[in-house]
Amino acid sequence: MKKHEKNNKSHIEIEKLIEEEKKVGLEVFRKTDFAAKLEMRINASSKPKHLLPYWLRNPVPIAALLLMIIVSGLVLRKLIVPYSDEKSVTVIEKFLIQAPNMQKILQAQESQELAFPPGIEEFFRFEWSIQRVILSAQREVIPDEHIPFLIYKVMYEANDYRRRGLASYSREENELKNLQNEVKNLREQNDFRKYFFQVLKK
C-alpha cells in the first residue's frame, strides 16, 4: 500500500514536471513564427535540384578526374600501341637533320659515298667487254686463234670509251643493257655470229 502511494506521489511529481516543461516550451514556441518558417523551408525544399551531382559541379574533383583520364589514356596508349622502330628512326632522323650543321655533314657524307673514283666507269665497261667475250666463247664454238684478236678489239674499245667521258655514260649503259638482254635471248649460232660481228664493228 505504501509502495503504491509512493508511486502515485512520484507519478504526480513527474506529471507536474512535464506540465511545467511543456508550459515553458509552448511559451517559447508560440513566440516563434512557425508558419512563416515552415513556408520558407517548404519553398527552399521545392526548388529544382541541380542536374549534375555536387562532385561534378566542384572544380577540384573535375580537375582530378581529368588528370586521371589523361594519365590512364597515356598508360593505355603505351600498353596498346606497339613500339615502332621505324617511327623512332624517323624521329631521330628528323632531330638530327634539324641539328646545326648536320645537313652539311650529311650532304658531304652522301656525296663521298656516291661519287665514283675517276675512271671507274671506263673500268666497268672494260670489264664487262672482257666478260662478254669470254661468255660468248663459252656459249658458242669460237676458234682459239680468234680469242686474242677479240680481246684486242675490246681493249681498243675501252680506250675509246675512256675518251667519250662521263657525259655519255647513261646512254652507253642503256645500250649495254639492251645488248646484254639480246645476248641472253640468243640461242642459235647464226644469231650469235651476227651479234658478235655487230659488236666488233662498233
CA-nearest of 154, 124, 121, 120 to 137 is 154
| Binding test (CB under 8 A) with other proteins, winner from 21, 173, 182, 191 | 21
Q: Which stretch binds other proteins (CB under 8 A): 11-19, 55-63, 95-103, 114-122?
A: 11-19
Measured N-to-C along each axis, helices 102-114 and 85-98 cross at an angle, to the nearest 10 degrees, of 110
Asked whether position 170 contacts other proteins by CB under 8 A, the answer is no
The one-letter amino acid at 93: E
DSSP code string of 127-160: HHHHHHHHHHHHHS---TTHHHHHHHHHHHHHHH
Instruction: For residue 65, report the phi and psi dihedrals to the nearest 5 degrees.
Output: -65, -45
| Binding test (CB under 8 A) with other proteins, winner from 10, 90, 107, 159 | 10
Looking at beta carbons only, is 10 or 84 nearer to other proteins?
A: 10
Looking at beta carbons only, is 9 or 146 nearer to other proteins?
A: 9
Asked whether position 37 contacts other proteins by CB under 8 A, the answer is yes
| Binding test (CB under 8 A) with other proteins, winner from 2, 4, 32, 115 | 32
Asked whether position 33 contacts other proteins by CB under 8 A, the answer is no
Asked whether position 68 contacts other proteins by CB under 8 A, the answer is no
H/E run at residue 82: none
CB of 15 to other proteins, least distance (A): 7
Q: At CB < 8 A and 24+ separation, what contacts does 89-97 make?
A: none
Q: Are 154 and 130 in contact (CB under 8 A)?
A: yes
Which residues make up the interface to other proteins (CB under 8 A)? Answer: 7, 10-11, 13-15, 17-18, 20-22, 24-29, 32, 34-35, 37-38, 41-42, 45
